Amino acid sequence: MMDTEAFREFKTGLTLLRDNYAMKALPHMRRAVDLDRNNPYYMSYLGVVLARSEGKWGEAERLCDSAVRMKRNQAQLYLNLAEVYATAGRRDDAVDALQTGLKYARRDIRLTIAMNKLTARRPPVLSFLSRRHPLNRHRRLKSISPPPNTRTGVPVPRGAPSCFHQLGGMAKRAN
Protein backbone atom coordinates (compact mmCIF):
# COMPACT_ATOMS: atom_id res chain seq x y z
CA MET A 1 0.00 0.00 0.00
CA MET A 2 2.90 2.37 0.68
CA ASP A 3 4.20 1.82 -2.85
CA THR A 4 0.94 2.98 -4.39
CA GLU A 5 0.84 5.97 -2.05
CA ALA A 6 4.44 6.81 -2.96
CA PHE A 7 3.59 6.51 -6.64
CA ARG A 8 0.54 8.72 -6.20
CA GLU A 9 2.65 11.39 -4.47
CA PHE A 10 5.32 11.12 -7.16
CA LYS A 11 2.75 11.46 -9.94
CA THR A 12 1.23 14.54 -8.31
CA GLY A 13 4.67 16.08 -7.82
CA LEU A 14 5.68 15.32 -11.40
CA THR A 15 2.52 16.95 -12.75
CA LEU A 16 3.23 20.07 -10.70
CA LEU A 17 6.87 20.09 -11.81
CA ARG A 18 5.93 19.87 -15.49
CA ASP A 19 3.53 22.78 -15.00
CA ASN A 20 6.44 24.83 -13.52
CA TYR A 21 5.23 24.68 -9.92
CA ALA A 22 8.45 23.38 -8.39
CA MET A 23 7.71 24.78 -4.92
CA LYS A 24 4.33 23.03 -4.84
CA ALA A 25 5.90 19.80 -6.12
CA LEU A 26 8.55 19.71 -3.39
CA PRO A 27 6.44 18.26 -0.52
CA HIS A 28 5.00 15.58 -2.82
CA MET A 29 8.45 14.49 -4.03
CA ARG A 30 9.81 14.46 -0.46
CA ARG A 31 6.90 12.30 0.66
CA ALA A 32 7.44 9.88 -2.25
CA VAL A 33 11.14 9.53 -1.35
CA ASP A 34 10.28 9.07 2.34
CA LEU A 35 7.86 6.26 1.46
CA ASP A 36 10.21 4.53 -1.01
CA ARG A 37 13.86 5.42 -0.40
CA ASN A 38 15.21 2.89 -2.93
CA ASN A 39 13.46 4.25 -6.02
CA PRO A 40 16.02 6.07 -8.20
CA TYR A 41 13.34 7.99 -10.13
CA TYR A 42 11.89 9.49 -6.96
CA MET A 43 15.37 10.50 -5.80
CA SER A 44 16.32 11.98 -9.15
CA TYR A 45 13.19 14.06 -9.52
CA LEU A 46 13.49 15.25 -5.93
CA GLY A 47 16.93 16.53 -6.92
CA VAL A 48 15.47 18.40 -9.89
CA VAL A 49 12.75 19.92 -7.71
CA LEU A 50 15.28 21.00 -5.06
CA ALA A 51 17.45 22.62 -7.70
CA ARG A 52 14.57 24.49 -9.31
CA SER A 53 12.70 25.54 -6.19
CA GLU A 54 15.31 26.16 -3.49
CA GLY A 55 18.60 26.28 -5.37
CA LYS A 56 20.14 23.57 -3.20
CA TRP A 57 22.64 22.51 -5.86
CA GLY A 58 24.78 20.25 -3.68
CA GLU A 59 21.92 18.20 -2.31
CA ALA A 60 20.24 18.05 -5.72
CA GLU A 61 23.45 16.84 -7.36
CA ARG A 62 23.95 14.20 -4.66
CA LEU A 63 20.42 12.85 -5.09
CA CYS A 64 20.64 12.72 -8.89
CA ASP A 65 24.10 11.16 -8.80
CA SER A 66 22.93 8.48 -6.34
CA ALA A 67 20.00 7.71 -8.62
CA VAL A 68 22.32 7.35 -11.63
CA ARG A 69 24.53 4.96 -9.66
CA MET A 70 21.50 2.81 -8.85
CA LYS A 71 20.37 2.50 -12.49
CA ARG A 72 23.10 3.39 -14.97
CA ASN A 73 21.17 2.45 -18.11
CA GLN A 74 18.21 4.81 -17.60
CA ALA A 75 18.48 7.91 -19.78
CA GLN A 76 15.98 9.97 -17.77
CA LEU A 77 18.26 9.90 -14.75
CA TYR A 78 21.11 11.39 -16.79
CA LEU A 79 18.74 14.01 -18.19
CA ASN A 80 17.73 14.98 -14.65
CA LEU A 81 21.37 15.22 -13.53
CA ALA A 82 22.18 17.37 -16.56
CA GLU A 83 19.20 19.60 -15.79
CA VAL A 84 20.46 20.12 -12.24
CA TYR A 85 23.89 21.07 -13.57
CA ALA A 86 22.42 23.38 -16.21
CA THR A 87 20.14 25.05 -13.68
CA ALA A 88 23.19 25.64 -11.47
CA GLY A 89 25.01 27.23 -14.41
CA ARG A 90 27.46 24.33 -14.80
CA ARG A 91 27.00 23.76 -18.52
CA ASP A 92 30.21 21.74 -18.98
CA ASP A 93 29.21 19.32 -16.22
CA ALA A 94 25.79 18.96 -17.84
CA VAL A 95 27.42 18.03 -21.16
CA ASP A 96 29.68 15.53 -19.36
CA ALA A 97 26.65 13.93 -17.68
CA LEU A 98 24.90 13.58 -21.04
CA GLN A 99 28.01 12.10 -22.66
CA THR A 100 28.22 9.54 -19.87
CA GLY A 101 24.53 8.82 -20.38
CA LEU A 102 25.17 8.19 -24.07
CA LYS A 103 27.71 5.53 -23.12
CA TYR A 104 25.25 3.59 -21.00
CA ALA A 105 21.91 4.34 -22.69
CA ARG A 106 22.94 4.67 -26.33
CA ARG A 107 19.62 4.29 -28.06
CA ASP A 108 17.80 7.09 -26.29
CA ILE A 109 17.42 10.05 -28.62
CA ARG A 110 16.51 12.38 -25.75
CA LEU A 111 20.15 12.42 -24.63
CA THR A 112 21.30 13.49 -28.09
CA ILE A 113 18.64 16.20 -28.29
CA ALA A 114 19.61 17.56 -24.87
CA MET A 115 23.28 17.48 -25.86
CA ASN A 116 22.56 19.46 -29.02
CA LYS A 117 20.75 22.10 -26.98
CA LEU A 118 23.75 22.55 -24.70
CA THR A 119 26.55 22.57 -27.26
CA ALA A 120 27.59 25.61 -29.29
CA ARG A 121 26.03 26.18 -32.69
CA ARG A 122 27.77 27.23 -35.86
CA PRO A 123 27.40 30.91 -36.73
CA PRO A 124 24.67 31.83 -39.21
CA VAL A 125 25.67 31.74 -42.88
CA LEU A 126 24.91 35.42 -43.33
CA SER A 127 26.03 36.86 -40.01
CA PHE A 128 24.54 40.31 -40.64
CA LEU A 129 21.06 38.72 -40.70
CA SER A 130 19.37 37.07 -37.74
CA ARG A 131 19.53 33.30 -37.38
CA ARG A 132 15.77 33.09 -37.99
CA HIS A 133 15.90 35.09 -41.24
CA PRO A 134 14.66 32.99 -44.23
CA LEU A 135 18.01 33.27 -46.01
CA ASN A 136 19.83 31.82 -43.01
CA ARG A 137 17.26 29.07 -42.70
CA HIS A 138 17.36 27.96 -46.33
CA ARG A 139 18.91 24.47 -46.57
CA ARG A 140 20.67 24.99 -49.90
CA LEU A 141 22.42 28.06 -48.60
CA LYS A 142 23.59 26.14 -45.55
CA SER A 143 25.01 23.37 -47.70
CA ILE A 144 27.22 25.78 -49.65
CA SER A 145 28.47 27.71 -46.65
CA PRO A 146 32.16 27.11 -46.04
CA PRO A 147 33.10 25.52 -42.73
CA PRO A 148 35.11 27.79 -40.45
CA ASN A 149 38.85 27.28 -40.09
CA THR A 150 39.38 25.21 -36.96
CA ARG A 151 42.16 27.42 -35.68
CA THR A 152 40.94 30.93 -36.50
CA GLY A 153 37.19 30.52 -37.03
CA VAL A 154 37.38 32.39 -40.35
CA PRO A 155 35.39 30.82 -43.22
CA VAL A 156 37.58 29.23 -45.90
CA PRO A 157 36.32 28.92 -49.51
CA ARG A 158 35.73 25.39 -50.78
CA GLY A 159 38.53 24.08 -52.97
CA ALA A 160 40.99 26.62 -51.61
CA PRO A 161 44.67 25.64 -51.40
CA SER A 162 45.93 24.27 -48.11
CA CYS A 163 47.63 27.55 -47.22
CA PHE A 164 44.15 29.10 -46.97
CA HIS A 165 43.12 26.55 -44.38
CA GLN A 166 46.24 27.15 -42.33
CA LEU A 167 46.03 30.93 -42.43
CA GLY A 168 42.27 31.29 -42.11
CA GLY A 169 41.51 32.37 -45.67
CA MET A 170 44.37 34.81 -46.16
CA ALA A 171 47.25 33.38 -48.17
CA LYS A 172 50.69 34.92 -47.86
CA ARG A 173 52.42 35.72 -51.08
CA ALA A 174 56.09 35.07 -51.54
CA ASN A 175 57.94 38.15 -52.81
pLDDT tens digits, residue range 111-139? 999 998 988 777 887 888 888 888 877 76
- CATH code assigned to 2-118: 1.25.40.10
pLDDT tens digits, residue range 18-63? 999 999 999 999 999 999 999 999 999 999 999 999 999 999 999 9
How many helices (H) and strands (E) would you count in the chain?
10, 0
Query: pTM to 2 decimals?
Result: 0.69
Phi-psi domain of 2 (left: phi exceeds 0; alpha: psi -120 through 50; beta: other): alpha
Q: What is the CA radius of gyration of the chain?
A: 23
Per-residue CA distances from 11 to 4, 26, 53, 134, 168 (Å): 10, 12, 18, 42, 55
pLDDT of residue 123: 81
C-alpha–C-alpha distance, residues 91 and 107, integer Å: 23
C-alpha–C-alpha distance, residues 78 and 11, integer Å: 20
What is the residue extent of each domain of the chain?
Answer: 2-118
The answer on pLDDT for 92 being more than 70 is: yes
